[in-house]
Amino acid sequence: MSDKFDTGVAHPARRYNYWLGGKDNFAADRESGDLLAKSYPAARIAARANRAFLQRAVRHLAGDAGIRQFLDIGTGLPTADNTHEVAQRVAPDSRVVYVDNDPMVMAHARALLTSTSAGETRYLEEDLRHPEKILAAADILDLTRPVGLILVAVVHFLPAQDEARQIVQTLLDALPSGSHLVMSCATTDFLTPELKANWDESLRTGRSDVYPRTRPEFDEFFTGLDLIDPGVVAVSQWRPDPAATEHATPVEASIFGAVARKP
């Protein structure tokens, strides 16, 4: 998660944009994406499945759970049906704070993402590793009322599990009862031994910056929370849309996803 805008260094947000078929990326991002795809051929399918999980989870929060405030950290470059669009389609008065550490993301967000007149959208250029700064700057959110905390495909860029758990806990501790956590993380639990070995080699050689979590490690982030049915599953299996044109298998969408409520 680089803090500086350098087109010669791959950034996760721009690489993800490349995998999703976007145009807001550079040669370094495409090269990194292609290298990772050689180790994990379903990378593009997984990116689409993860994005669809985000949209279904936000729809649940805005609809069934009645959430009207969202803190989306590691938002990535704008594409179709972003968090605020999904939420405000259900509840026009929803407020959304986007956070990313890539200046290109923020430039595009400010130019392309507009809120409904009843709601509000804010963009912060900050890093997940600074949760206190994020909370202090997210001033359009009323932290006495439930918040949907969205950490989709971002925590797996933190190598150390203990640090990642502490950061997520710091964010959750600041939110009141009734808040929800939407989270996804890459995993190798679903992969064949050959694909897992490829992933491990990519990390060892520095071609990958994605640190997968095992099921027990992912479960740790939800300690003390009430998991929403169906619990922890591959993102493609979290309340899948029967009308969707693509239904990825857990091997293809090798990403854990879950939604949970803070009691």
The CATH number covering residue 184 comes to 3.40.50.150
Tell me how many domains the chain contains: 1
Kindly report the pTM of this predicted structure. 0.86
Residue 205: inside a domain, yes or no? yes
Residue 1: inside a domain, yes or no? no
Give me the helices (H) in the chain, please.
12-19, 27-39, 43-62, 83-90, 103-112, 131-137, 161-173, 193-204, 215-220
Query: How many angstroms from the chain centroid is the CA of residue 188?
Result: 17
Residue 5: inside a domain, yes or no? no
Residue whose entry in the numeric block shows the structure tokens 């590691």 = 74
Residue 163: inside a domain, yes or no? yes
Q: Quick one: pLDDT at residue 82?
A: 87
C-beta neighbour count of 263 within 10 angstroms: 9
Residue 2: inside a domain, yes or no? no
Residue 7: inside a domain, yes or no? no
Q: Quick one: pLDDT at residue 1?
A: 42
Residue whose entry in the numeric block shows the structure tokens 């591959």 = 234
Residue 6: inside a domain, yes or no? no
Query: For residue 166, which amino acid is it?
Result: Q
In the three-class reduction of DSSP (H, G, I as helix; E, B as strand; rest coil), residue 40 is classed as coil
pLDDT digits (tens), the chain, 263 positions = 444 556 777 777 777 777 777 777 788 888 877 777 666 667 788 888 999 999 999 999 999 999 999 999 998 766 667 899 999 999 999 999 999 887 777 776 666 566 778 889 898 999 999 999 999 999 999 999 999 999 999 999 999 999 999 999 999 999 999 999 999 999 999 999 998 998 899 889 888 888 999 999 999 999 999 999 999 999 999 999 999 988 999 999 999 999 999 99
Residue 128: inside a domain, yes or no? yes
What domain range includes position 52? 12-261
